[in-house]
Amino acid sequence: MKTLNDFNFDGKKALIRVDFNVPLNADFIVTDATRIFAAKPSIIKVLEDGGSVVLMSHLGRPKGKEDKFSLKHIVDKVEEIIGVQVGFVEDCIGDKAQQAVANLEPGQVLLLENLRFYAEEEKGDLDFAKQLAQLGDIYINDAFGTAHRAHASTTIVAQFFPENKCFGALLSREIESINKVLNDSVKPVTAILGGAKVSSKIGVLENILDKVNHIIIGGGMTFTFIKALGGQIGNSLVEEDKLDLALAILAKAKEKNVQIHLPVDAIIADAFSNDANIKEVATDAIPDGWMGLDVGSKTSEIFADVIAKSKTILWNGPLGVFEMEAFSKGTIELGNAIAKATSKGAFSLVGGGDSVAAVKQFGFEDKVSYVSTGGGAMLEMLEGKPLPGIEAILN
């Protein structure tokens, strides 16, 4: 696996695919700069070696060239975080881009315009990738968030750098962290899978059964399992067509000696609202007209006990509707348990949009071992699928 440390960038132009797909408010101010901070180490390494940096990224889902999706809006934020002046060019291929790159001196950084202003980017167009490739001597992929897409800038471009391509610092860490859970783990290993639907986690469940000792299940997907086992779930979220699948997963886990932990009690509400009436009941005895929106206190204790004994922890998905204060306690308690285990030497990896949001919201970011920057990409890796952006560097 070639990384930044395999190259000296002195006098070289590094073409870096970063993931600067960051949220902006109505005034085009970046509201969460996590992904820009994540790209900083790779950029600094190239500059300190005496090279220059050409950054390419997408932003949003533009239909053609739309000003609101221009990367010019984030230049100031990138400068502030990297601590170096950042040039900007209003295109990512063609004469303008080539001229701007030709003028680049060692120690300088240039940001290209949004790759997705061209439909060829998402199509994985060979000629478009070739034009991008002309803008650098060495290609670095540091965009984990898009590594599962076979786009021109994440995958196709790599073939024009047969010897001169590598993973950036961020992408290297992502691969190492997921490998640490899937292939290199210290037992016991616990995976926490939350979120709304069993269907979105089937691939992960099936792939990790051979690699973990415990699986904690939370969120809306709980109730598909509880109903499959004959429980009363009231108006809770359920996938009626996945009841047999839930039973099959439980049977397979038993066969492989993996303990599945389902919530034993739930915080239920009579409406999907922070102001609803709430009470705590057994998960399999939810009355009609009520729905489970968080785990109960007994469940939190049981889960915390499992986590305390774990040496490797994967957290993908919250335990309840944490965005509403009334239903956030289970997710917060879980975060506390993971933070405590981490402080005692466990390795903890958090990934997937909602669990990352929860970790940030409740201040656990620095209390876990690693927070992944890619939701879809991480899920596909956990499912055991090869990611095109990673394969392109390895091949």
Inside any domain, residue 391:
no
Contact call for residues 304 and 341 (beta carbons, < 8 A): no
Note whether 248 and 164 are same-domain residues. no
Q: Is 323 annotated as a binding residue?
A: yes
The per-residue pLDDT for range 125-141, each reduced to its tens digit, is 999 999 999 999 999 99
Residue finishing a domain among 148, 172, 196:
172
Q: Is 201 annotated as a binding residue?
A: yes
Note whether 218 and 316 are same-domain residues. yes
Inside any domain, residue 318:
yes
Instruction: Confirm whether 256 is a catalytic residue.
Output: no
Quickly state the pLDDT bin for 297 (edges 50, 70, 90).
Answer: very high
Name the least confident of 67-81, 338-352, 371-385.
371-385
Position 275 pLDDT exceeds 80: yes
Inside any domain, residue 394:
no
Position 293 pLDDT exceeds 80: yes
Q: Is 352 annotated as a binding residue?
A: yes
Residue finishing a domain among 135, 150, 172:
172
Task: Note down the domain range covering 214.
Answer: 185-382
Position 24 pLDDT exceeds 90: yes
List 180, 197, 298, 360, catalytic entry:
197
CATH number for the domain that contains residue 104: 3.40.50.1260
Q: Is 145 annotated as a binding residue?
A: no
Note whether 251 and 294 are same-domain residues. yes
Q: Is 6 annotated as a binding residue?
A: no
Instruction: Confirm whether 376 is a catalytic residue.
Output: yes
Mean pLDDT within 246-259? 96
Inside any domain, residue 259:
yes
Note whether 133 and 190 are same-domain residues. no
Instruction: Provide the percentage of residues in the chain whose pLDDT is more than 90.
Output: 92
Backbone angles phi, psi at 4, to 5 degrees: -50, -35
Q: Is 32 annotated as a binding residue?
A: no
Q: What is the DSSP string of 361-383?
A: HTT-GGGSSEE-S-HHHHHHHHT
Name the least confident of 111-115, 219-223, 298-302, 375-379.
375-379
Please enumerate, as own/partner, the contacts of 122-127 that have beta carbons within 8 Å and a separation of 24 or more: 122/149, 122/151, 122/152, 123/152, 124/150, 124/151, 124/152, 124/155, 124/156, 125/152, 125/156, 126/152, 126/156
Give the burial string for 187-220 (b: 16+ CB within 10 Å, else e): ebbbbbbbbbbbeebeebbeebbebbbbbbbbbb
All residues at 6 or more sequence positions from 388 whose CB lies less than 8 Å from its CB, including other chains: 147, 148, 149, 150, 154, 155
Inside any domain, residue 79:
yes
List 65, 203, 340, 376, catalytic entry:
376
Note whether 220 and 357 are same-domain residues. yes
Q: Is 17 annotated as a binding residue?
A: no
CA dihedral 14, 20, 26, 32 (to 10 degrees): -120
Q: Are strands 265-269 and 291-295 parallel, antiparallel or unpaired?
A: antiparallel
Mean pLDDT within 174-198? 93
The DSSP 8-state label assigned to residue 4 in this structure reads G
Quickly state the pLDDT bin for 373 (edges 50, 70, 90).
Answer: confident
The per-residue pLDDT for range 72-124, each reduced to its tens digit, is 999 999 999 999 999 999 999 999 999 999 999 999 999 999 999 999 999 99
Residue 112 confidence (pLDDT): 98
Note whether 13 and 51 are same-domain residues. yes
Mean pLDDT within 300-320? 97
Instruction: Confirm whether 203 is a catalytic residue.
Output: no
Distance CA 130, CA 156 (A): 8
Note whether 87 and 41 are same-domain residues. yes
Q: Is 257 annotated as a binding residue?
A: no
Helix (H), strand (E) at residue 116:
none
Note whether 155 and 201 are same-domain residues. no
Q: Is 168 annotated as a binding residue?
A: no
Contact call for residues 309 and 296 (beta carbons, < 8 A): no
Contact call for residues 144 and 163 (beta carbons, < 8 A): no
Mean pLDDT within 306-320? 96
Residue 195 confidence (pLDDT): 86
Q: Is 343 annotated as a binding residue?
A: no
List 12, 13, 17, 35, catalytic entry:
35
Position 379 pLDDT exceeds 90: no
Contact call for residues 316 and 193 (beta carbons, < 8 A): yes
Inside any domain, residue 178:
no
As a whole number, the mean pLDDT across the chain is: 96
Mean pLDDT within 364-368? 95
Note whether 167 and 189 are same-domain residues. no
Quickly state the pLDDT bin for 353 (edges 50, 70, 90).
Answer: low
Rg (CA), the chain: 23
Note whether 162 and 197 are same-domain residues. no
Instruction: Provide the percentage of residues in the chain whose pLDDT is more than 70.
Output: 100
Inside any domain, residue 395:
no
Q: Is 20 annotated as a binding residue?
A: yes
Note whether 274 and 222 are same-domain residues. yes
Note whether 51 and 199 are same-domain residues. no
Q: Which of 104, 63, 8, 34 is nearest to 375 (CA)?
A: 34
Strand order through the sheet with 214-217? 259-261, 214-217, 189-193, 312-316, 347-350, 370-371
Quote the tokens at residue 104: 């680049």
Position 148 pLDDT exceeds 80: yes
Instruction: Confirm whether 35 is a catalytic residue.
Output: yes
Quote the tokens at residue 262: 């389902």
* Longest Cα separation, the chain: 70
Q: Is 173 annotated as a binding residue?
A: no
Quote the tokens at residue 22: 């960051």
Q: How many domains does the chain have?
A: 2
Inside any domain, residue 200:
yes
List 353, 360, 367, 384, catalytic entry:
353
Residue finishing a domain among 172, 201, 234:
172
Residue 200 confidence (pLDDT): 86
Quickly state the pLDDT bin for 196 (edges 50, 70, 90).
Answer: confident
Mean pLDDT within 16-30? 96
